[in-house]
A and B are shown apart, each in its own frame.
Chain A
Amino acid sequence: MEHKREYWFDLGLLTAIPVRGARTVQVPRRDIAVFRTANNEVFALENKCPHKGGPLSEGIVHGRKVACPLHNWVIDLESGHATGADHGCARSFPVKIENGRVFIDMGVAAAA
């Protein structure tokens, strides 16, 4: 029987990510942006705006959204969907915080 494999990879301390900012994680097939909101929630999206591929990790984080630095598309951190009149979606990945450390599910993040 096929069962879902979870592989939580330790990315280090939450405090290594600036509040209302992001850091990246490089895996062979993609760059992933790991965001930290003002309320210390974390979200992970492929570091590529659905518009023209801008690095979302460099955008201004506000609430649970990020504004892409290239053309100001606003992307929802939870779903990866563009908000407002724009359409498109950045892929999102499972992340969690445990004991002040951030973990990403490599089973998903590193998959094809």
Chain B
Amino acid sequence: MTSPDKCRRKLVVVGNGMAAGRMLEELFARAPGAHDVTIFGAEPRVNYDRIMLSPVLAGEKTYEDIVIHGDAWYAENGIDLRRGERVVAVDREARTVTSSAGTVAPYDELVLATGSDPFVIPVPGASLPGVVTFRDLDDVEKMLEAANKGGSAVVIGGGLLGLEAAAGLALKGMKVTVVHLMPTLMERQLDLSAAYLLRRAIEKRGITVETGANTVAIFGAGKVEAIKLEDGRTLPADLVVMAVGIRPNAALAKAAGLEVRRGIVVDDHLATSDPSIYSVGECVEHRGACYGLVAPLYEMAKVLAARLAGEEVAGYAGSITSTKLKVTGVDLFSAGDFSEGDETDEVVLRDPSRGIYKRVILRDGHIVGAVLYGDVADGSWYFDLIKKHADVSEMRETLIYGQAFQGGGAALDPISAVAALSDDAEICGCNGVSKGTIVGAIKAKGLTTLDEVRAVTKASASCGQCTGKVEAVLAATLGAAYSGSSRKPMCKCTDLTHEEVRGFIASKELKSFPAILQELGWKTSCGCPTCRPALNYYLIAAWPGEYRDDLQSRFVNERLHANIQKDGTFSVVPRMWGGLTTPAELRAIADIAEKYQVPLVKMTGGQRVDLIGIPKASLPNVWAELLAAGMVSGQAYAKGLRTVKTCVGKSWCRFGTQDSMGLGVKLEKLMCGSWTPAKVKLAVSGCPRNCSEATVKDIGVICVDSGYDIHIAGAAGLHVRATDLLGHVDTEEEALEVCAAVLQAYREQAVYLDRLYKWSEKVGLDAVRAQIIDDLANRKALYQRFLVSQRAVRKDPWAERVAGRELHEFMPLAKLDIIPAPVEA
């Protein structure tokens, strides 16, 4: 042991964590024996690897395995380690620190490495026994003790630490629920696709994941027993782990009068506002950023050590961070900036059958971020390219295949690339179909289309992601004889058609955006304005009541429940069932039109009143007044049921054969609120004179003496088309059932934005008739499914908005009539 020497500078370090340890290691390497070092550590231990606490919890490592500096290291370097002694005060005048044990230590240079404290959410019951954080070995011991007794654990926080804690506790046999405030796991490190895969992997371990869940209270008599969520549910818990984040521990610095914002403010050389006091690690705030990962701490430690050793070095310039999750069997990596991008600045590779997702984000020919899931072998390579700011434009085409793929010559076009593959190369991973098998089938059976290849070989028949490759095999095998396909992919994000995507949503039970994008191998990270509204509709239609409508994937009219006009104002159309109204309704509409100075009041072609030119901010008030007068949204903005137009019918008309108004009202009440691929308009005419023009509607009912003729597939817009007669029914009840069954078949089968006539032309009138008129059981099943889906949309959208749902969105964020005078800099 070296003895104290008057010439040596006295260095006092507060904190015995990883940043302090690394800094000293670096310092001793640069300036051996130049300092007398005293360390105050609040924990009664030597320096250990805190990021390996998860493997200790999981039982994969022991405390001994994760010790970085054993007792010998402290002795060898002559360090006076004060274990379990917390520094309580710094006297900057006298240049001394005072510890909880009363030790007063003088310093020439002081390093604050106080780290961070876990954030404990301030809910009632947060201090109950059994509520722990996940920060140090004591926490791990408490968790292990609880785990040995079994029972339920709730982990609050679905970030890195929370998930590692959850996985460890699940491995120890506890029934674990992760409660996460945000809509997706690890939202700061992962994009939606990777978060989807992660959630699936976590759930596979038997862990329940509750996202968008806010904890409001923790209960228990003497010890924790349950937590309560904002939605009213309670989750039983014998152990609650809070892993919601960390806060720089800057209390000592603040008390000493140093500049502290979120953390202890340091310059590029890690000096605080007092030039003889430095700070390093999670407690600092550098250029506005605080760090909670180990790499930046080590980078800081290096700069500070050089500074203390008297070397002239470039300062610390901040860090680009990367993340890995330490849960065995879950491979994920993220680094840099992974903002949502689009086709111009990202490269995406998905392999649904192996659960792989890779995304590299580029800006101006440089990689700025990467998210990898399932195969992270190239994470460090991408991270290196990010840090080096390397120009990767030359290898852009092959970048996503990783480092091993580089230098492999020029990229081939897809057909040549497939032609160059050997016969045993796998084309379809789901069904294990090789190129040779496909080529053989094409030649032996004379296949010429993708559908034939699918039917015979099963290639691309499962997830469809290899569709492009199978087509390339067809093209390469048939040469000029392959006419290409008439298939129209949904958009640039996929090779699949609308019909194929719909099919997979049902067969693979895809219930969310990320599930579709990953399992069907989307080429972009989050879709485009073409596919997003379509997918949102398909999900709504497939999973009524289960899928939550994504408003941001909707066109403005459906988002705001009003039609946008060319000047940015909106039109409002209240519902008038079957085109019927009352003097009281008309009076209310007139009053509202005057009160809000509505510039134009007009009758629509669907027997409604249109109030045009209403500014967005006035919409909720206008709706509230219409609602007060008993009216609801006319959904004149929706790809959904708009209007049922009627003629007077037998109650008044001398030619009327049935109650056309009554049926119209019933149809409208049955169908209102339903979302459909495109707008839907109906009409009911009381006799074949057809005054309500039912023969140019999507569904038209023409009453006759013997009952009701049901017509479908009319149009009177860009395209004019008279309806086809679907069939005849005798009773009003049957008419309602047939109309609803037609609507449901259209909802389930049509391509988004196809009007009903287009769907009917595509599947054929006979096929529609077969499933609705001829097959009674099928008709009833369609009708029942329609009723189920209608249950999910029974709330009036105007009423919901007026009641406050997303109401703030109608108001500007700020409105400044007078600009306040700028503050002089």
The docked-state distance in angstroms from the alpha carbon of A28 to that of B815 is 9
A62 and B813 contact, CB distance less than 8 A: no
B766 within 8 A of A: no
**Listed stretches B336-344, B439-447, B453-461, B478-486; interface member:** B336-344
B823 within 8 A of A: yes
A27 and B816 contact, CB distance less than 8 A: yes
Binary per-residue interface labels of chain A (68-86) against chain B in the complex, 1 for a CB within 8 Å, 0 otherwise: 0110101000000000000
**Listed stretches B32-40, B525-533, B577-585, B696-704; interface member:** B525-533
B551 and A106 contact, CB distance less than 8 A: no
The docked-state distance in angstroms from the alpha carbon of A18 to that of B806 is 9
Chain B residue numbers with a CB within 8 Å of A11 are 813-814
Partner of B819, one of A52, A62, A110: A110
Report A56 CB to chain B, min CB distance, Å.
10
A38 and B340 contact, CB distance less than 8 A: yes
A91 within 8 A of B: no
Chain A residue numbers with a CB within 8 Å of B122 are none
Contact (A26, B552) CB under 8 Å given A39-B340, A54-B568, A62-B526 = no
Contact (A52, B825) CB under 8 Å given A27-B819, A37-B340 = no
Chain A residue numbers with a CB within 8 Å of B808 are 16
Partner of B809, one of A12, A23, A34, A106: A23
The docked-state distance in angstroms from the alpha carbon of A58 to that of B529 is 13
Chain A residue numbers with a CB within 8 Å of B340 are 20, 37-39, 62-64
Contact (A70, B564) CB under 8 Å given A9-B814, A19-B552, A27-B816 = yes
Q: Which residues of chain B in 367-396 are interfacial with respect to chain A, using CB atoms and an 8 Å cutoff?
A: none
Partner of A69, one of B341, B555, B567: B555
Chain B residue numbers with a CB within 8 Å of A41 are 339
B812 and A64 contact, CB distance less than 8 A: no
Q: Which residues of chain A in 24-43 are interfacial with respect to chain B, using CB atoms and an 8 Å cutoff?
A: 24-28, 31, 34, 37-39, 41
Chain B residue numbers with a CB within 8 Å of A94 are none
Contact (A60, B552) CB under 8 Å given A12-B813, A25-B813 = yes
Report A88 CB to chain B, min CB distance, Å.
17
The docked-state distance in angstroms from the alpha carbon of A3 to that of B812 is 31
The docked-state distance in angstroms from the alpha carbon of A34 to that of B812 is 10
The docked-state distance in angstroms from the alpha carbon of A7 to that of B544 is 48
Number of A-B contacts (CB under 8 A): 122
A21 and B552 contact, CB distance less than 8 A: yes
Q: Which residues of chain B in 483-497 are interfacial with respect to chain A, using CB atoms and an 8 Å cutoff?
A: none
A37 and B339 contact, CB distance less than 8 A: yes
Partner of A63, one of B342, B551, B568: B342
Partner of A39, one of B338, B527, B532, B809: B338
Chain A residue numbers with a CB within 8 Å of B817 are 28
A89 within 8 A of B: no
B818 within 8 A of A: yes
A62 and B815 contact, CB distance less than 8 A: no
B812 and A62 contact, CB distance less than 8 A: no
Binary per-residue interface labels of chain B (172-213) against chain A in the complex, 1 for a CB within 8 Å, 0 otherwise: 000000000000000000011000000000000000000000
A18 and B568 contact, CB distance less than 8 A: no
B822 and A28 contact, CB distance less than 8 A: no
Partner of B556, one of A16, A24, A38, A69: A69
Which partner residue on chain A sits nearest B187 by CB separation?
A: A40
Partner of A28, one of B556, B557, B560, B816: B816
A67 and B529 contact, CB distance less than 8 A: yes
A59 within 8 A of B: yes
The docked-state distance in angstroms from the alpha carbon of A88 to that of B615 is 26
B556 and A62 contact, CB distance less than 8 A: no
B657 within 8 A of A: no
B719 within 8 A of A: no
The docked-state distance in angstroms from the alpha carbon of A110 to that of B817 is 10
The docked-state distance in angstroms from the alpha carbon of A41 to that of B823 is 26
A55 and B568 contact, CB distance less than 8 A: yes
A62 and B564 contact, CB distance less than 8 A: no
Partner of B814, one of A7, A26, A28, A72: A26
Q: Which residues of chain B in 514-560 are interfacial with respect to chain A, using CB atoms and an 8 Å cutoff?
A: 526-529, 532-533, 551-557, 559-560
B354 within 8 A of A: no
Chain B residue numbers with a CB within 8 Å of A53 are 567-568
Contact (A28, B339) CB under 8 Å given A11-B814, A58-B556 = no
Which partner residue on chain A sits nearest B338 by CB separation?
A: A39
B566 within 8 A of A: yes
The docked-state distance in angstroms from the alpha carbon of A103 to that of B824 is 17
Contact (A18, B809) CB under 8 Å given A5-B825, A27-B816, A69-B556 = yes
Binary per-residue interface labels of chain B (784-825) against chain A in the complex, 1 for a CB within 8 Å, 0 otherwise: 000000000000000000000010110011111111101111
B552 and A18 contact, CB distance less than 8 A: yes
Report A74 CB to chain B, min CB distance, Å.
8
B566 and A20 contact, CB distance less than 8 A: no
B823 and A69 contact, CB distance less than 8 A: no
Q: Which residues of chain B in 625-639 are interfacial with respect to chain A, using CB atoms and an 8 Å cutoff?
A: none
Which partner residue on chain A sits nearest B808 by CB separation?
A: A16
Contact (A63, B813) CB under 8 Å given A7-B822, A28-B818, A28-B819 = no
Report B621 CB to chain A, min CB distance, Å.
17
Report B109 CB to chain A, min CB distance, Å.
32
Chain B residue numbers with a CB within 8 Å of A34 are 813
The docked-state distance in angstroms from the alpha carbon of A67 to that of B564 is 14
Chain B residues in contact with chain A, CB under 8 A?
A: 191-192, 337-342, 345, 526-529, 532-533, 551-557, 559-560, 564, 566-568, 616, 806, 808-809, 812-820, 822-825
**7 pairs of residues in contact across A and B, judged by CB atoms under 8 Å:** A5-B824, A17-B813, A25-B815, A28-B816, A60-B552, A60-B555, A64-B339
Chain A residues in contact with chain B, CB under 8 A?
A: 3, 5-7, 9, 11-12, 16-21, 23-28, 31, 34, 37-39, 41, 52-55, 58-65, 67, 69-70, 72, 74, 102, 106-107, 110
- Which 7 A-B pairs give the minimum distances between C-beta atoms? A63-B342, A38-B340, A39-B339, A7-B822, A20-B552, A23-B813, A58-B556
